[in-house]
Structure formats: C-alpha cells, structure tokens
Structure 1
C-alpha cells in the first residue's frame, strides 16, 4: 500500500468563519482507520495566504481515503463547509 496525501484549501465567503471551519474539520480526524496525519491550518495574519483554511492529511492508502470520503459525519461537515466556502481546491497524490 502506498500512502496518499489529501490536501484541500478553501477561500471563505466570510474569512472570520475560519475557526468554525477548522473545528468542523478537526472533528473528522479519527473517523476511519488508516488516517496517518490530519492537520488543519487557518490563515495567519502577516503571513502570505491565498486561502483561509487548509487541510493536509495523509491516508495509508487510496482505499483508506475512499472510505473517509462517504463517511456520514464527513458528508455532514462537507455540507456545512460548502455553505461557507467561496472556492475549494483539492490535490490528492501518492507520497
């Protein structure tokens, strides 16, 4: 099995919602077996950023990521973030 990195970045309609989005994402950190790393960051004043929130996670395999995506809790988080997001960018790659 080859680990896969899952990176998602959001620009929010209201940047002040970033802590709320972070809390929602952090609630997904242990949803399924095979999550090796799960880090959520929010834009830091004074540092360069094109987005307000980033998720950098590593799964032990593409199968582990595939089991995370449809998880009911994750889907609920996705629906809430979708309402707050102006844009979303994602990159998955083997590491």
Structure 2
C-alpha cells in the first residue's frame, strides 16, 4: 500500500475558498479506480506554520499512484490547484 499526503496553502484562505477547494479534492472519490481511499481535512489551528488543506490518499502500488497522477479527473484537479495554491508539500510512503 502507498500513502500519498499533500498539504496545500492557498492564496485565498477564506473559509469559502478553502471549502470550495476541499470539495474539488473530495470530488475525485469514486471517479479514479486506482484511488483506494481519500481523506480531505481542513486546518483548525490556523497557526503561522499551518497549511489550509490536507489530502491523504492511498493506492495499492506505485504503479497505481502513477496512473492516478495522469488520470484525466486528477489532471483537472491539478489545473484548479495550480490556480489557487500558494504552496504545497507532499510525501509518498509505503504503509
């Protein structure tokens, strides 16, 4: 199993903007066969070092993660995220 975690800091971190973007991420659920699970969380502390949204996804293998990366549904999400994010960080690990 591969766990893929991404944290997003948005240019506009108003509650409305964060929720809209979180929904864009949630909308991948059930649309990408390789995506075994998805959790989208919104920051509750709002500290100086906080990111606005956390995405946790799981895949059966690195090949499945690679297929997800190029899937048309994910590609549309990337377009949105490129427009709204100020920064992002990620990690992928065996779980």
User: Normalised by the shorter chain, which TM-score bucket?
Assistant: 0.7 to 0.9
1:90 matches 2:79: no
RMSD over aligned CA atoms reads 1.5
- How do residues 46-85 of structure 1 correspond to structure 2 at under 5 angstroms? 46=45, 50-85=50-85
TM superposition shift of 1:27? 1.1
TM-score, structure 2 as length reference: 0.87
Structure 1 unaligned spans of 5+: none
Q: Do 2:34 and 2:68's aligned partners in 1 also have CA atoms closer than 8 Å? A: no
Match of 1:12 in 2: 10
Q: C-alpha offsets along residues 31-68 of structure 1, whole Å, 9 cap, x if unaligned?
A: 32232221001112x47561000101111111111111
Q: C-alpha offsets along residues 1-42 of structure 1, whole Å, 9 cap, x if unaligned?
A: xx0000000001111211011110011122322322210011
Q: Do 1:22 and 1:53's aligned partners in 2 also have CA atoms closer than 8 Å? A: yes
TM-score, structure 1 as length reference: 0.87
Structure 2 unaligned spans of 5+: none
